Amino acid sequence: MSEHLLTTRGFTRDSAVALLDVAEDMADTQRRSVKKLPTLRGTTVVNLFFEDSTRTRLSFEAAAKRLSADVITFSAKGSSVSKGESLQDTAQTLQAMGADGIVIRHSSSGAAHVLATSGWTRAGVVNAGDGTHEHPTQALLDAFTIRKRRHGDDSRGRDLAGLSVVIVGDVLHSRVARSNLWLLTALGASVRLVAPPTLLPAHVEGWPVTTGIDLDAAIADGPDVVMMLRVQRERMTEAFFPSPREYARLYGLSVARADALPEDGLVMHPGPMNRGLEIAGAVADSPRSTVLEQVQNGIAVRMAVLYDVLAGERA
């Protein structure tokens, strides 16, 4: 059992496989007519979202409710935060209300770590995305989806050894890319980052990845997975590429580029997608695309995470 889930950086091969195997068990329960489990009955989970979210918030809500937890969803808009209340005050208020688990999404990198280590709350903390730092449950559901596509019902106990993954696009602002590179490499995959020079982080020397600026060259190497990243215009304070048309021409996953992938190559996107910019609509809707599977698998993975963080000695 883990006290918190803040990052994927500390995962070993065995710890990652173990958590993905728990997610397999959770996924099996979701194919039954009665999907609810009594695992977290009597436990209160607070979704503390300081940023707009649809997929992640709904996925965590569904996961907690299917484990029979009581769920409180907090949105910063219209709350005391908009009146100037600090994260400390909010956390202490939730502690006084008896929160057992807090799922936090915040625009500031490191917010989840501060919440978990500050002493403001004794709740288990799950990072649902903090600034440009990490988004660990997205990486877990991506790894789960890749493993499921590769091994099907024989997934349990398997890692991703020997697979090559190319992550394309706005790496500079992407917490999804950061969480994925640590988790996928822990599971044995090789990771290559491809982006315009302006959207590659300046210092990647300590990262277990290779980098490049030529998407066509990366595709020519025959990767097993191409993961497209959303262009995060809301985090851009300057022009990082000449125009959307130029970006799509050089770094968008067109039908022609998708056709050049190996026959069993996968196309992934964390969503929401900018169709026609980072990925062509026909590619997003093609059989090699895992976009909707990622959403579906996200519930089972987040059930596993909540179980891991909350169902041990704390419960």
Q: Is pLDDT above 80 for 85?
A: no
Contact by Cβ (8 Å): 172, 240: yes
Q: Is pLDDT above 80 for 240?
A: no
Q: What are phi and psi of 13, to 5 degrees?
A: -60, -45
To the question of whether residue 149 is assigned a binding role by annotation, the answer is no
To the question of whether residue 272 is assigned a binding role by annotation, the answer is yes
Residue 236 pLDDT: 46
To the question of whether residue 117 is assigned a binding role by annotation, the answer is no
Q: What percent of the chain has pLDDT over 90?
A: 86
The CA radius of gyration of the chain, in Å to the nearest whole number, is 19
Q: What is the mean pLDDT of the chain?
A: 93
Query: In 10 A of CB 295, how many CB atoms?
Result: 16
To the question of whether residue 271 is assigned a binding role by annotation, the answer is yes
To the question of whether residue 122 is assigned a binding role by annotation, the answer is no
Residue 179 pLDDT: 98
Residue 164 pLDDT: 98
- On whether the pTM is more than 0.85, the answer is yes
Helices then strands, counting H and E runs in the chain, come out as 11, 9
To the question of whether residue 106 is assigned a binding role by annotation, the answer is no
Residue 174 pLDDT: 95
Contact by Cβ (8 Å): 127, 74: no
With CA atoms as reference, report the closest residue to 166 among 193, 139, 184, 141: 193
Q: Torsion angle of alpha carbons 206, 105, 20, 64, nearest 10°?
A: 170
Cα–Cα distance list, 1 to 22, 38, 310, 311 (Å): 12, 18, 8, 8
* Side-chain-side CA neighbours of residue 33 (13 Å): 0
Residue 2 pLDDT: 78
Q: Is pLDDT above 60 for 60?
A: yes
Of 24-38, 80-94, 111-125, the one with minimum mean pLDDT is 80-94
pLDDT digits (tens, 9 = 90+) for 176-208: 999 999 999 999 999 999 999 999 998 898 999
To the question of whether residue 288 is assigned a binding role by annotation, the answer is no
Contact by Cβ (8 Å): 179, 134: yes
Contact by Cβ (8 Å): 18, 305: no
Region 211-240: what's the mean pLDDT?
Answer: 85
Contact by Cβ (8 Å): 178, 134: yes
With CA atoms as reference, report the closest residue to 278 among 237, 235, 238, 226: 226
Cα–Cα distance list, 294 to 41, 71, 184, 272 (Å): 27, 23, 15, 12
* Side-chain-side CA neighbours of residue 76 (13 Å): 18
Q: Is pLDDT above 60 for 20?
A: yes
Contact by Cβ (8 Å): 163, 264: no
Query: Tell me, what DSSP letter sits at residue 264?
Result: T
pLDDT digits (tens, 9 = 90+) for 95-108: 999 999 999 999 99
Residue 243 pLDDT: 85
Q: How confident is the model at residue 238 (pLDDT cuts 50, 70, 90)?
A: low
DSSP E strand stretches across the chain: 44-49, 70-75, 101-106, 124-130, 164-168, 190-194, 210-212, 225-228, 266-268
pLDDT digits (tens, 9 = 90+) for 113-132: 999 999 999 999 999 999 99
Contact by Cβ (8 Å): 179, 135: yes
Residue 235 pLDDT: 46
Tell me the two tokens of residue 142: 């991506």
Residue 84 pLDDT: 57
Q: How confident is the model at residue 74 (pLDDT cuts 50, 70, 90)?
A: confident
- Pairing status of strand 266-268 against strand 190-194: unpaired
Tell me the two tokens of residue 11: 């995962």
